[in-house]
Amino acid sequence: MIRKKLLVEGDVQGVGYRAACLREALRIGKLYGWVCNLPNGVVEVVMQGDPIAVAKLIHWCREGPPAAEVEKITELPLSNEENMDSEFFTFKIKQF
């Protein structure tokens, strides 16, 4: 299992990015975490799962849904020591 955090910048809020990301994570399977809108216009995606599943979702996030215009993605590793407990039983849309 690996953990990653993505900060997705561009025209990514108000275009269905979170809902589409949730659908894609569930389609891929073996992924846990969340997607949420941040107050600064960035979408945050935090994920844990099988390395291949994580790589597939990262690839999808670079494009997003058709209405989105992803300009930049910052990928940050998360250590296994960080407290992820109850957040990682499913993949969900999280409210900031």
Mean pLDDT of 70-75: 98
Whole-number pLDDT of residue 83: 53
In angstroms, the CA 60 to CA 25 distance is 9
Whole-number pLDDT of residue 96: 76
Mean pLDDT of 6-16: 98
**Number of domains forming the structure of the chain:** 1
Supply the range of the domain harboring residue 6: 2-93
Query: Cβ distance 86 to 42 under 8 Å?
Result: no
pLDDT in tens, 14-46: 999 999 999 999 999 999 999 999 999 999 999
Q: Which residues are catalytic?
A: 18, 37
In angstroms, the CA 69 to CA 10 distance is 6
Whole-number pLDDT of residue 77: 79
User: Mean pLDDT in the chain?
Assistant: 92
